[in-house]
Chains A and B, each alone.
Chain A
Amino acid sequence: MSTLDRIKKVAVELLKIQASRVQETSRFVEDLGADSMQSIELVASFEEEFDIEMDEDAALGVKTVGDAVKFIDQVIAEG
């Protein structure tokens, strides 16, 4: 699965939304309805999904699904 697909899977499970709603341009808060707690849980879920550790403040600053893809790919690349 691509990074995007894995992010979609996590978002669908955690936010309990239909997969079709999750697009690269979707904003986690405004479009997908993530509240502040769910935002933290999303970060934790991504960390577990990709077996990475993300910078807390930078990760919470990511607004869209597409940005999350770039951010996570970069974290993975930096090893």
Chain B
Amino acid sequence: MKVEHYLPLLPEAITILKKNGCWSRHWSKVMVSKSFDPTRIAGTIFRGDVRIGRLDDHFTPKDGIIRYAGIFDANLHNVVIGDNCHISNVNGWLSNLIIEDNVLMEDVGSIVCQGETSFGNGHAIELLNEGGGRELKITEMTSAQTAYLSTLYRHDPDLIASLDSLADAYANSVRSDRATIGEGSIIFHCQNIVNVKIGKGTILRGVQNLKEGSIASSPNARTFVGDGVIAKNFIIQKGAHVSDGALISGSLIGEYARIGKQFSAENSVMFCNSEGFHSEVCSIFGGPYTVTHHRSTLLIAGMFSFFNAGSGTNQSNHMYKLGPLHQGIIERGGKTGSSSYLLWPSRVGAFSAIMGKHHANFDSSDFPFSYVNEENGHSTLVPGMNFFTVGTLRDGLKWPTRDRRQHKDKLDQLNFEVLSPYTGQKMIKGITILLDLYAAAEKDQEYVSHQGILIKRLLLKTCSRYYRLATEKYLGDVVMARLISDSASNLASFLSPDPGAASGDSFWIDVSGLLCAQPRLTDLLERVKAGQVTDLQFLQTELKKLHGSYAKDEWSWILTTLPHVFGFTASALTVDDLRIVLEKWRVSSSKLLNMVEMDAVKEFEGNVRTGFGIDGHQEDDFINVRGNFESNSFKKQLDVMRLKIESNHQHASNILNKL
């Protein structure tokens, strides 16, 4: 909103205003723009200092009814109103506000700012441990990554102090006794809004009660808060859609998250593209793509990302008697089956499917892509099995396509890769653990135990082969992609790490969606502690850079890992070594698709037809409702992938021959 030079009301204007049913004790405190049109104001009470911009335009909202810029039946107190706003039917007060240009506001209760506030910025919420100890100061600039560090790096008090200080500085920078309603916002049929900063282009429709919060929004990432929403001490980030009786208390709703249908969030974060409907979350760290859709589901005191909660999912954080102290982690890509239960503390490895009720505390983080089952009351693990399922393949394909964020300056840095150095290093470690467990087990032993969970002895070797297969596929994927896209003209340059890459033997971490070599993050955190990262925007820029180094750091890791996995012993890789990598890739990729197809075909055969053909004609009913496997789009997708394996293999082999 541009700075206006306001003028006092002319006597003629005051006469018109009075005639239109307006009232003020001190007309001299009402200042207006140069081309002010008093005929566009009626039934309005002015209190305190009021500034009004031009009123010479109109809106045509979606209902098709033209609204002329003007102020009708409103009560104003210490308000600056930008150019061409339409404000009508304000039953309570608009008080201590800066209303930017082109705001359309109709049928509202009160929108007020009461005293100085930072609008939810800097509010500390108790994540993971309900009892405290991991408080996160939420701000409009909080990303999944900064939240991860603040919440989980409690081993480093200096870092936490620095991050808190950055959050406090941001909160202070927005602190004011005037709340802003951003340019182009639309506010219809809302009740009470107290101490809320409303970003540009926000749409509020039917909101019940908002208190102490910020709604980030921009013209190209408009945020919607709708019917019956009650929120207190909150941050809603750009593009989010919060509606239908959602209850938000001490929580952050991330970019383009969708929240509604009476969903309840308390002391929680739900970062970008998360979805919460019907259910309840309490003290959760909902990383990107945390999805819970069912009324009977409670997520509590856990960390999730790329997660899908089945109906009736539940966890308990009251293991002992000292209160709700226990926390859990389901690493990225997890899923819970209907009515699953986990007793915290537990930690579930990446891309795992959890079924049944688990009353043991276990840690399966060394085993990604696992089935976590319940057998006769015991928690059992099938390592690697979930890599070969339709679900995991489909998830990996769908997440990037479902990133709703199209605006620049996205807060959360996301890496969608299912196979990465993060899961790769775990699978390699998993192979060693499984084979060691096999070697140590007696042949008559049905199960072995590892970190609180049982694994069938019989499956130890099988599952280690699953990991080997997935690892060979992953390494081959990257070599293949590099060969096809790389401009290297000789073997030596192809096999060289990129300039500035992290060491190939670095440990990799998942910073709530951002995958990186740990030393790179450590370096950034040292700079944060040294005060070299001066504000949250700067930190955001640095995290973005860190995210941008993924490809070169991954290649460095691949180059270091290839000899170990494939048993190459020479000091340098040869073209023949790479041929072996490509051939193993071709075989493992084909096997993956074969096994996924076997998993998919189950949807079309056997007893899945039960319930079809209620009075006969089961086959026809099934075909007409579900179709047949051969014409299924996923099956066709698999066929295309198969052809691509062969063509890529041929292409890469040809390139290899020229190196």
Query: Chain A residues in contact with chain B, CB under 8 A?
Result: 29-30, 36-37, 40-41, 43-45, 47-48, 53, 55-57, 60-61
Contact B598 A44 (CB under 8 A): no
Question: Which of these, A29, A40, A61, contacts B459 with CB under 8 Å?
Answer: A40
A-side contacts of B599, CB under 8 Å: 36
Q: In the docked arrangement, what's the CA distance between A30 and B385, Å?
A: 22
Whole-angstrom distance from the CB of B170 to the nearest CB of chain A?
A: 50
- Give the contacts of B455-491 with A (CB-CB under 8 A): 456, 458-459, 461-462, 465-466, 469
Given A44-B458, A61-B594, A56:B465 Cβ within 8 A: yes
Asked whether B462 lies within 8 Å of A40 as measured between CB atoms, the reply is yes
Complex Cα gap A45–B457 (Å): 10
Tell whether, in the assembled complex, residue B385 and residue A40 are in contact, meaning their CB atoms are under 8 Å apart.
Answer: yes
Number of A-B residue pairs having CB atoms within 8 Å of each other in the complex = 41
**Does A47 lie within 8 Å of B461, measured CB to CB?**
yes
B371:A47 contact, CB within 8 angstroms: no
| B 370-396 to A, binary, CB cutoff 8 A, 1 in contact else 0 | 010100000000100100000000000
Residues of A near B552 (CB, < 8 A) are none
A29 to B598, CA, bound (A): 13
B459 touches A41 (CB 8 A): yes
Residues of B within 8 A of A60 (CB): 595, 598
State which of B371, B382, B595 has its C-beta within 8 Å of the C-beta of A56: B595
Q: B373 contacts A30, CB within 8 Å?
A: no
- Tell me the chain B residues, 432-469 only, with Cβ under 8 Å from chain A: 456, 458-459, 461-462, 465-466, 469
Q: How far is it, in angstroms, between the C-alpha of A55 and the C-alpha of B466 when the chains are bound?
A: 11
Interface residue B154 (Cβ < 8 Å from any Cβ of A): no
Cα distance, A60 to B371, chains bound together (Å) = 17
A36 and B602 contacting across the interface, CB-CB below 8 Å = yes
Whether the Cβ atoms of A57 and B385 lie closer than 8 Å is: no
Given A29-B606, A30-B606, A37-B371, check contact A57 B465 (CB 8 Å).
no
| B134 contacts the other chain (CB 8 A) | no
Taking the closest CB of chain A, its distance from the CB of B465, in whole angstroms, is 7
Across the interface, which residues of A come within 8 angstroms of B591, CB to CB?
55-57
Are B458 and A57 touching (Cβ within 8 A)? no
Set B458, B465, B469, B594: member contacting A41, Cβ < 8 A: B458
Interfacial chain A residues near B382, Cβ < 8 Å: 37, 40
Closest Cβ of chain B to A28, distance in Å, is 11
Task: For A43, list chain B residues within 8 Å (CB).
Answer: 462
* Seed contacts A30-B606, A44-B456; 4 additional CB < 8 Å A-B pairs: A36-B599, A41-B458, A55-B591, A56-B469
Give CA–CA (A40, B606) in the complex, Å.
18
Closest to B466 in A: A56
